[in-house]
Structure 1
Amino acid sequence: MDKIQILARYMPPDAAPLIGRWIDYFKCEFKISRGRSSKFGDYRPPFDGKGHRISVNYNLNPYAFLVTTVHEFAHLHTWNEHKHKAKPHGAEWKNNFKKMMQPFFEKDVFPADVKHAIVRYLNNPAASSCSDLNLYRSLRLYDNPKESIHTVEKIAVNTLFKLKDGRVFQKGEKLRKRYKCVEVATRRIYLFSPVAEVEVVSSNQ
Protein backbone atom coordinates (compact mmCIF):
# COMPACT_ATOMS: atom_id res chain seq x y z
CA MET A 1 0.00 0.00 0.00
CA ASP A 2 1.50 3.35 -0.99
CA LYS A 3 1.59 6.36 1.28
CA ILE A 4 -1.34 8.14 -0.39
CA GLN A 5 -3.58 5.13 0.25
CA ILE A 6 -2.40 5.05 3.87
CA LEU A 7 -2.92 8.80 4.35
CA ALA A 8 -6.43 8.51 2.87
CA ARG A 9 -7.37 6.25 5.77
CA TYR A 10 -6.69 9.05 8.26
CA MET A 11 -7.74 12.25 6.44
CA PRO A 12 -10.26 13.26 3.77
CA PRO A 13 -9.17 11.17 0.74
CA ASP A 14 -9.05 14.17 -1.62
CA ALA A 15 -6.41 15.76 0.64
CA ALA A 16 -4.07 12.75 0.67
CA PRO A 17 -2.32 13.27 -2.73
CA LEU A 18 -1.18 16.80 -1.83
CA ILE A 19 0.07 15.76 1.60
CA GLY A 20 1.92 12.90 -0.10
CA ARG A 21 3.59 15.38 -2.45
CA TRP A 22 4.60 17.57 0.52
CA ILE A 23 6.22 14.56 2.22
CA ASP A 24 8.30 13.95 -0.93
CA TYR A 25 9.04 17.60 -1.70
CA PHE A 26 10.22 18.44 1.81
CA LYS A 27 11.95 15.05 2.23
CA CYS A 28 10.05 14.62 5.46
CA GLU A 29 9.72 11.58 7.70
CA PHE A 30 5.97 11.45 8.39
CA LYS A 31 4.83 9.23 11.24
CA ILE A 32 1.29 8.33 12.28
CA SER A 33 1.74 8.25 16.03
CA ARG A 34 -0.01 6.74 19.03
CA GLY A 35 -2.58 8.94 20.72
CA ARG A 36 -1.07 11.62 22.95
CA SER A 37 -3.23 13.58 25.38
CA SER A 38 -0.76 16.49 25.53
CA LYS A 39 -0.67 17.21 21.79
CA PHE A 40 -2.24 16.29 18.46
CA GLY A 41 0.98 16.48 16.43
CA ASP A 42 4.64 17.37 16.50
CA TYR A 43 7.34 18.81 14.22
CA ARG A 44 11.08 18.37 14.70
CA PRO A 45 13.63 20.14 12.48
CA PRO A 46 16.72 18.44 11.02
CA PHE A 47 19.15 17.40 13.75
CA ASP A 48 22.04 14.99 14.22
CA GLY A 49 21.85 13.59 10.70
CA LYS A 50 18.06 13.24 10.68
CA GLY A 51 15.83 15.27 8.38
CA HIS A 52 12.46 16.89 8.99
CA ARG A 53 10.15 14.78 11.16
CA ILE A 54 6.41 15.15 11.64
CA SER A 55 4.12 12.98 13.72
CA VAL A 56 0.33 13.16 13.96
CA ASN A 57 -1.88 11.18 16.35
CA TYR A 58 -3.59 8.22 14.68
CA ASN A 59 -6.82 8.59 16.69
CA LEU A 60 -7.89 12.02 15.39
CA ASN A 61 -10.95 12.30 13.18
CA PRO A 62 -10.12 12.97 9.49
CA TYR A 63 -10.62 16.75 9.68
CA ALA A 64 -8.62 17.15 12.90
CA PHE A 65 -5.88 14.94 11.40
CA LEU A 66 -5.65 17.15 8.31
CA VAL A 67 -5.68 20.46 10.24
CA THR A 68 -2.93 19.12 12.52
CA THR A 69 -0.90 17.87 9.53
CA VAL A 70 -1.03 21.27 7.81
CA HIS A 71 -0.15 22.96 11.11
CA GLU A 72 3.02 20.87 11.39
CA PHE A 73 3.99 21.31 7.72
CA ALA A 74 3.69 25.06 8.23
CA HIS A 75 6.32 24.69 10.98
CA LEU A 76 8.56 22.78 8.57
CA HIS A 77 8.16 25.38 5.80
CA THR A 78 8.84 28.21 8.25
CA TRP A 79 11.98 26.48 9.53
CA ASN A 80 13.26 26.08 5.96
CA GLU A 81 12.77 29.79 5.34
CA HIS A 82 13.93 31.26 8.65
CA LYS A 83 15.60 28.52 10.72
CA HIS A 84 15.62 29.58 14.39
CA LYS A 85 15.05 33.27 13.62
CA ALA A 86 11.25 32.89 13.50
CA LYS A 87 9.16 32.39 16.62
CA PRO A 88 7.41 28.97 16.76
CA HIS A 89 3.94 30.49 16.21
CA GLY A 90 4.93 33.96 15.04
CA ALA A 91 3.87 35.94 11.98
CA GLU A 92 5.96 33.83 9.57
CA TRP A 93 4.31 30.58 10.70
CA LYS A 94 0.83 32.14 10.66
CA ASN A 95 1.31 33.32 7.06
CA ASN A 96 2.54 29.90 5.96
CA PHE A 97 -0.31 28.13 7.73
CA LYS A 98 -2.84 30.35 5.97
CA LYS A 99 -1.24 29.74 2.56
CA MET A 100 -0.95 25.99 3.07
CA MET A 101 -4.61 25.65 4.07
CA GLN A 102 -5.89 27.29 0.87
CA PRO A 103 -5.62 24.24 -1.46
CA PHE A 104 -7.85 22.23 0.89
CA PHE A 105 -10.50 24.95 0.83
CA GLU A 106 -10.35 24.86 -2.96
CA LYS A 107 -10.81 21.08 -2.88
CA ASP A 108 -13.77 21.60 -0.52
CA VAL A 109 -12.68 18.78 1.79
CA PHE A 110 -14.16 20.27 4.99
CA PRO A 111 -17.81 20.37 6.11
CA ALA A 112 -19.23 23.90 6.18
CA ASP A 113 -19.10 24.25 9.98
CA VAL A 114 -15.48 23.11 10.20
CA LYS A 115 -14.47 25.36 7.28
CA HIS A 116 -16.11 28.34 8.97
CA ALA A 117 -14.29 27.59 12.23
CA ILE A 118 -10.96 27.24 10.41
CA VAL A 119 -11.45 30.57 8.62
CA ARG A 120 -12.08 32.26 11.97
CA TYR A 121 -9.03 30.50 13.43
CA LEU A 122 -6.86 31.58 10.47
CA ASN A 123 -7.52 35.22 11.27
CA ASN A 124 -5.13 34.73 14.18
CA PRO A 125 -3.98 31.12 14.53
CA ALA A 126 -3.01 30.05 18.03
CA ALA A 127 -0.26 27.69 19.06
CA SER A 128 -2.60 24.72 18.87
CA SER A 129 -5.89 23.97 17.19
CA CYS A 130 -7.17 22.71 20.55
CA SER A 131 -6.38 26.07 22.18
CA ASP A 132 -8.95 27.69 19.88
CA LEU A 133 -12.17 26.56 21.56
CA ASN A 134 -14.42 27.32 18.60
CA LEU A 135 -12.29 25.24 16.21
CA TYR A 136 -11.78 22.46 18.76
CA ARG A 137 -15.53 22.15 19.37
CA SER A 138 -16.24 22.06 15.63
CA LEU A 139 -13.63 19.36 15.02
CA ARG A 140 -14.78 17.33 18.01
CA LEU A 141 -18.30 17.00 16.58
CA TYR A 142 -16.81 14.56 14.06
CA ASP A 143 -15.18 12.32 16.67
CA ASN A 144 -16.64 8.88 17.24
CA PRO A 145 -18.89 9.21 20.32
CA LYS A 146 -17.48 7.86 23.59
CA GLU A 147 -20.33 7.25 26.04
CA SER A 148 -18.35 7.66 29.25
CA ILE A 149 -16.33 10.70 28.11
CA HIS A 150 -17.56 14.26 28.53
CA THR A 151 -16.02 17.71 28.35
CA VAL A 152 -15.81 19.73 31.55
CA GLU A 153 -18.10 22.45 30.20
CA LYS A 154 -20.87 19.89 29.55
CA ILE A 155 -21.12 18.49 33.09
CA ALA A 156 -22.98 20.12 35.99
CA VAL A 157 -21.29 22.08 38.76
CA ASN A 158 -20.31 19.86 41.74
CA THR A 159 -20.14 16.76 39.51
CA LEU A 160 -17.30 14.36 40.31
CA PHE A 161 -15.07 13.35 37.41
CA LYS A 162 -11.80 11.51 36.94
CA LEU A 163 -8.81 11.71 34.62
CA LYS A 164 -6.99 8.88 32.87
CA ASP A 165 -4.49 8.75 35.74
CA GLY A 166 -7.33 7.98 38.18
CA ARG A 167 -7.38 11.30 40.04
CA VAL A 168 -10.88 12.45 41.00
CA PHE A 169 -12.05 16.08 40.94
CA GLN A 170 -15.19 18.03 41.71
CA LYS A 171 -16.26 20.66 39.18
CA GLY A 172 -16.58 24.21 40.51
CA GLU A 173 -17.35 27.65 39.14
CA LYS A 174 -16.03 29.14 35.92
CA LEU A 175 -13.23 31.67 36.30
CA ARG A 176 -12.92 33.66 33.07
CA LYS A 177 -11.98 30.95 30.52
CA ARG A 178 -11.38 27.95 32.79
CA TYR A 179 -13.22 25.96 35.45
CA LYS A 180 -12.05 25.86 39.06
CA CYS A 181 -12.03 22.21 40.16
CA VAL A 182 -10.97 20.61 43.44
CA GLU A 183 -8.98 17.37 43.59
CA VAL A 184 -10.92 15.24 46.07
CA ALA A 185 -7.92 13.48 47.65
CA THR A 186 -5.74 16.55 48.27
CA ARG A 187 -8.29 19.45 48.22
CA ARG A 188 -5.92 21.26 45.86
CA ILE A 189 -7.48 23.54 43.26
CA TYR A 190 -6.82 23.08 39.53
CA LEU A 191 -8.05 25.05 36.51
CA PHE A 192 -9.50 23.00 33.65
CA SER A 193 -10.10 23.94 30.03
CA PRO A 194 -13.81 23.82 29.10
CA VAL A 195 -13.02 21.18 26.47
CA ALA A 196 -10.87 18.92 28.66
CA GLU A 197 -12.14 15.35 28.26
CA VAL A 198 -13.03 13.62 31.53
CA GLU A 199 -14.99 10.60 32.80
CA VAL A 200 -17.92 11.28 35.09
CA VAL A 201 -17.82 9.39 38.41
CA SER A 202 -21.26 8.16 39.46
CA SER A 203 -22.34 8.59 43.07
CA ASN A 204 -22.37 4.83 43.69
CA GLN A 205 -18.74 4.29 42.63
Structure 2
Amino acid sequence: MNQKIDILKKYMPESAAPVIAKWIDHYRCEFKISRTRNTKLGDYRPPYEGHGHRISVNYNLNPYAFLVTTVHEFAHLKTWNEHQRNAKPHGQEWKNNFKLMMRPFFELQLFPKEIHSAILNYLENPAASSCADLGLYKALKTFDAKQPNALMVEQVPDQQEFYLKNGRKFKKLERIRKRYRCVETASGLVYLFSPVAEVYLAKNPD
Protein backbone atom coordinates (compact mmCIF):
# COMPACT_ATOMS: atom_id res chain seq x y z
CA MET A 1 0.00 0.00 0.00
CA ASN A 2 2.73 2.49 0.97
CA GLN A 3 4.54 1.85 -2.30
CA LYS A 4 1.36 2.59 -4.28
CA ILE A 5 0.83 5.81 -2.32
CA ASP A 6 4.41 6.94 -2.94
CA ILE A 7 4.01 6.38 -6.70
CA LEU A 8 0.59 8.05 -6.89
CA LYS A 9 1.86 11.13 -5.03
CA LYS A 10 4.04 11.89 -8.04
CA TYR A 11 0.99 12.28 -10.30
CA MET A 12 -1.85 13.68 -8.18
CA PRO A 13 -2.37 15.92 -5.13
CA GLU A 14 -0.59 14.23 -2.25
CA SER A 15 -3.63 13.97 0.03
CA ALA A 16 -5.58 12.11 -2.68
CA ALA A 17 -3.04 9.30 -3.10
CA PRO A 18 -4.11 7.18 -0.06
CA VAL A 19 -7.75 7.20 -1.22
CA ILE A 20 -6.88 6.03 -4.74
CA ALA A 21 -4.47 3.41 -3.38
CA LYS A 22 -7.31 1.98 -1.25
CA TRP A 23 -9.60 1.84 -4.29
CA ILE A 24 -6.97 -0.01 -6.32
CA ASP A 25 -6.70 -2.67 -3.61
CA HIS A 26 -10.43 -2.80 -2.80
CA TYR A 27 -11.48 -3.33 -6.42
CA ARG A 28 -8.42 -5.48 -7.23
CA CYS A 29 -7.82 -3.18 -10.14
CA GLU A 30 -4.80 -3.20 -12.42
CA PHE A 31 -3.87 0.50 -12.47
CA LYS A 32 -1.48 1.63 -15.17
CA ILE A 33 0.15 5.03 -15.62
CA SER A 34 0.18 5.23 -19.39
CA ARG A 35 2.11 7.02 -22.09
CA THR A 36 0.51 10.07 -23.69
CA ARG A 37 -2.49 9.33 -25.90
CA ASN A 38 -3.89 12.10 -28.09
CA THR A 39 -7.36 10.57 -28.28
CA LYS A 40 -8.04 10.00 -24.56
CA LEU A 41 -6.86 10.92 -21.08
CA GLY A 42 -7.75 7.63 -19.43
CA ASP A 43 -9.37 4.29 -20.05
CA TYR A 44 -11.38 1.64 -18.20
CA ARG A 45 -11.70 -1.98 -19.26
CA PRO A 46 -14.02 -4.39 -17.45
CA PRO A 47 -13.04 -7.95 -16.45
CA TYR A 48 -12.47 -10.15 -19.49
CA GLU A 49 -10.86 -13.54 -20.17
CA GLY A 50 -9.17 -13.86 -16.79
CA HIS A 51 -8.23 -10.19 -16.47
CA GLY A 52 -9.72 -8.10 -13.68
CA HIS A 53 -10.65 -4.44 -13.82
CA ARG A 54 -8.08 -2.37 -15.71
CA ILE A 55 -7.62 1.40 -15.59
CA SER A 56 -5.00 3.51 -17.34
CA VAL A 57 -4.36 7.24 -17.01
CA ASN A 58 -1.94 9.35 -19.07
CA TYR A 59 1.22 10.13 -17.13
CA ASN A 60 1.63 13.72 -18.37
CA LEU A 61 -1.60 15.20 -16.98
CA ASN A 62 -1.35 17.91 -14.36
CA PRO A 63 -2.15 16.63 -10.82
CA TYR A 64 -5.76 17.82 -10.83
CA ALA A 65 -6.48 16.46 -14.31
CA PHE A 66 -4.83 13.16 -13.35
CA LEU A 67 -7.05 12.85 -10.28
CA VAL A 68 -10.30 13.82 -12.02
CA THR A 69 -9.54 11.38 -14.85
CA THR A 70 -8.77 8.64 -12.31
CA VAL A 71 -12.07 9.21 -10.51
CA HIS A 72 -13.85 9.25 -13.89
CA GLU A 73 -12.50 5.79 -14.68
CA PHE A 74 -13.20 4.38 -11.21
CA ALA A 75 -16.80 5.57 -11.60
CA HIS A 76 -16.95 3.40 -14.75
CA LEU A 77 -15.61 0.47 -12.70
CA LYS A 78 -18.21 0.94 -9.95
CA THR A 79 -20.99 1.29 -12.51
CA TRP A 80 -19.85 -1.90 -14.22
CA ASN A 81 -19.90 -3.78 -10.91
CA GLU A 82 -23.45 -2.61 -10.25
CA HIS A 83 -25.00 -2.76 -13.73
CA GLN A 84 -22.50 -4.33 -16.14
CA ARG A 85 -23.76 -3.64 -19.69
CA ASN A 86 -27.20 -2.50 -18.54
CA ALA A 87 -26.12 1.13 -18.04
CA LYS A 88 -25.06 3.71 -20.63
CA PRO A 89 -21.33 4.60 -20.54
CA HIS A 90 -22.00 8.11 -19.18
CA GLY A 91 -25.61 7.70 -18.17
CA GLN A 92 -27.26 8.62 -14.89
CA GLU A 93 -25.79 5.59 -13.10
CA TRP A 94 -22.27 6.69 -14.00
CA LYS A 95 -23.01 10.32 -13.11
CA ASN A 96 -24.27 9.26 -9.67
CA ASN A 97 -21.15 7.19 -9.05
CA PHE A 98 -18.82 9.93 -10.30
CA LYS A 99 -20.45 12.40 -7.90
CA LEU A 100 -20.26 9.88 -5.04
CA MET A 101 -16.60 9.08 -5.69
CA MET A 102 -15.69 12.77 -5.90
CA ARG A 103 -16.99 13.37 -2.39
CA PRO A 104 -13.80 12.37 -0.50
CA PHE A 105 -11.76 14.85 -2.52
CA PHE A 106 -14.26 17.66 -1.99
CA GLU A 107 -14.04 16.93 1.75
CA LEU A 108 -10.24 17.19 1.51
CA GLN A 109 -10.72 20.61 -0.16
CA LEU A 110 -7.82 19.93 -2.49
CA PHE A 111 -9.29 21.44 -5.68
CA PRO A 112 -8.78 25.09 -6.61
CA LYS A 113 -12.11 26.91 -6.69
CA GLU A 114 -12.14 27.06 -10.53
CA ILE A 115 -11.98 23.28 -10.80
CA HIS A 116 -14.34 22.71 -7.88
CA SER A 117 -16.94 24.96 -9.52
CA ALA A 118 -16.44 23.34 -12.95
CA ILE A 119 -16.96 19.85 -11.50
CA LEU A 120 -20.16 20.94 -9.74
CA ASN A 121 -21.47 22.61 -12.91
CA TYR A 122 -20.63 19.52 -14.91
CA LEU A 123 -22.44 17.22 -12.50
CA GLU A 124 -25.54 19.43 -12.54
CA ASN A 125 -25.67 19.56 -16.33
CA PRO A 126 -27.45 16.50 -17.77
CA ALA A 127 -26.34 17.41 -21.30
CA ALA A 128 -22.68 16.89 -20.42
CA SER A 129 -21.77 13.31 -21.28
CA SER A 130 -18.26 12.81 -19.91
CA CYS A 131 -15.19 14.35 -18.34
CA ALA A 132 -14.44 15.72 -21.80
CA ASP A 133 -17.03 18.38 -20.94
CA LEU A 134 -15.38 21.54 -22.27
CA GLY A 135 -16.02 23.68 -19.20
CA LEU A 136 -14.38 21.16 -16.89
CA TYR A 137 -11.60 20.31 -19.31
CA LYS A 138 -10.69 23.96 -19.84
CA ALA A 139 -10.61 24.54 -16.08
CA LEU A 140 -8.21 21.63 -15.72
CA LYS A 141 -6.06 22.81 -18.65
CA THR A 142 -5.37 26.14 -16.94
CA PHE A 143 -3.11 24.25 -14.53
CA ASP A 144 -1.01 22.66 -17.28
CA ALA A 145 2.57 23.79 -17.77
CA LYS A 146 2.35 26.37 -20.54
CA GLN A 147 3.88 25.36 -23.87
CA PRO A 148 5.18 28.20 -26.08
CA ASN A 149 3.01 28.75 -29.20
CA ALA A 150 0.55 26.00 -28.25
CA LEU A 151 -3.17 26.48 -28.82
CA MET A 152 -6.33 24.38 -28.83
CA VAL A 153 -7.81 22.81 -31.94
CA GLU A 154 -10.94 24.98 -31.57
CA GLN A 155 -8.68 28.04 -31.94
CA VAL A 156 -7.21 26.85 -35.26
CA PRO A 157 -8.91 28.48 -38.29
CA ASP A 158 -10.79 26.14 -40.64
CA GLN A 159 -8.63 24.70 -43.44
CA GLN A 160 -5.49 25.71 -41.53
CA GLU A 161 -2.72 23.16 -41.06
CA PHE A 162 -1.40 22.33 -37.62
CA TYR A 163 0.97 19.79 -36.15
CA LEU A 164 1.36 17.73 -32.99
CA LYS A 165 4.37 17.49 -30.71
CA ASN A 166 5.44 14.34 -32.56
CA GLY A 167 5.55 16.24 -35.87
CA ARG A 168 2.43 14.75 -37.49
CA LYS A 169 0.66 17.41 -39.56
CA PHE A 170 -3.09 17.82 -40.10
CA LYS A 171 -5.57 20.17 -41.74
CA LYS A 172 -8.61 21.22 -39.73
CA LEU A 173 -11.96 20.51 -41.39
CA GLU A 174 -15.50 20.90 -40.06
CA ARG A 175 -16.89 20.32 -36.59
CA ILE A 176 -19.00 17.19 -36.05
CA ARG A 177 -20.97 17.35 -32.81
CA LYS A 178 -18.28 17.79 -30.14
CA ARG A 179 -15.17 17.06 -32.21
CA TYR A 180 -13.38 18.35 -35.30
CA ARG A 181 -12.63 16.32 -38.39
CA CYS A 182 -8.99 16.74 -39.35
CA VAL A 183 -7.15 15.11 -42.22
CA GLU A 184 -3.55 13.96 -41.82
CA THR A 185 -1.37 15.52 -44.50
CA ALA A 186 0.90 12.51 -45.05
CA SER A 187 -1.67 9.70 -45.12
CA GLY A 188 -4.94 11.41 -46.09
CA LEU A 189 -6.63 9.65 -43.17
CA VAL A 190 -9.31 11.54 -41.24
CA TYR A 191 -9.17 11.76 -37.43
CA LEU A 192 -11.52 13.30 -34.88
CA PHE A 193 -9.92 15.79 -32.48
CA SER A 194 -11.20 17.15 -29.20
CA PRO A 195 -11.70 20.95 -29.37
CA VAL A 196 -9.20 21.32 -26.52
CA ALA A 197 -6.44 19.10 -27.91
CA GLU A 198 -3.11 20.95 -27.75
CA VAL A 199 -1.56 21.63 -31.17
CA TYR A 200 0.76 24.05 -32.97
CA LEU A 201 0.02 26.10 -36.08
CA ALA A 202 1.96 25.17 -39.18
CA LYS A 203 3.60 28.11 -40.93
CA ASN A 204 2.20 28.95 -44.32
CA PRO A 205 4.79 28.81 -47.11
CA ASP A 206 5.87 32.21 -48.43
Deviation of 1:157 after TM superposition, in Å, equals 6.6
Cα distance in 2 for residues equivalent to 1:30 and 1:179 = 30
Cα distance in 2 for residues equivalent to 1:7 and 1:181 = 35
Aligned residues: 203
Cα distance in 1 for residues equivalent to 2:18 and 2:151 = 35
% identical aligned pairs: 57
Which residue in 2 is equivalent to 1:105? 106
**Alpha-carbon displacement from aligned partner over 1:135-193 (angstroms, at most 9, x marks no partner):** 11110011111114211344567754234563342x68989866787877899998865
SS, match of residue 199 in structure 1:
strand
Gap change, CA 1:202 and 1:26, over 3 Å in 2:
same
Cα distance in 2 for residues equivalent to 1:59 and 1:147 = 17
Map 1:33-182; keep pairs closer than 5 Å.
33-123=34-124, 124=126, 126-130=128-132, 132-155=133-156, 160-163=161-164, 164=166, 166-169=168-171
Asked if 2 retains the 8 angstrom alpha-carbon contact of 1:160 and 1:201, the reply is yes
TM-score by length of 1: 0.84
Cα distance in 2 for residues equivalent to 1:86 and 1:142 = 33
SS, match of residue 146 in structure 2:
coil
Amino acid in structure 1 at the alignment position of 2:53: H
Asked if 2 retains the 8 angstrom alpha-carbon contact of 1:161 and 1:201, the reply is yes
SS, match of residue 2 in structure 1:
helix
Cα distance in 2 for residues equivalent to 1:46 and 1:182 = 35
Unaligned runs of 5+ in 2: none
Asked if 1 retains the 8 angstrom alpha-carbon contact of 2:43 and 2:73, the reply is yes
Q: Is residue 21 from structure 1 mapped to residue 18 from structure 2 by the alignment?
A: no
Q: Which moved more, 1:190-199 or 1:113-122?
A: 190-199
Asked if 2 retains the 8 angstrom alpha-carbon contact of 1:183 and 1:190, the reply is yes
Gap change, CA 1:188 and 1:71, over 3 Å in 2:
closer
Deviation of 1:127 after TM superposition, in Å, equals 4.1
**Alpha-carbon displacement from aligned partner over 1:1-49 (angstroms, at most 9, x marks no partner):** 7000110110011111111111111111111111111111111111111
Gap change, CA 1:25 and 1:125, over 3 Å in 2:
farther
Gap change, CA 1:30 and 1:158, over 3 Å in 2:
closer
Over the aligned positions, Cα root-mean-square deviation in angstroms equals 3.0
Gap change, CA 1:125 and 1:118, over 3 Å in 2:
farther
Q: Which moved more, 1:1-10 or 1:95-104?
A: 1-10
Amino acid in structure 1 at the alignment position of 2:169: R
Deviation of 1:128 after TM superposition, in Å, equals 3.2
TM-score by length of 2: 0.83
**Alpha-carbon displacement from aligned partner over 1:78-98 (angstroms, at most 9, x marks no partner):** 111112222221111111111
Amino acid in structure 1 at the alignment position of 2:110: V
Amino acid in structure 2 at the alignment position of 1:167: K
Asked if 1 retains the 8 angstrom alpha-carbon contact of 2:161 and 2:169, the reply is no
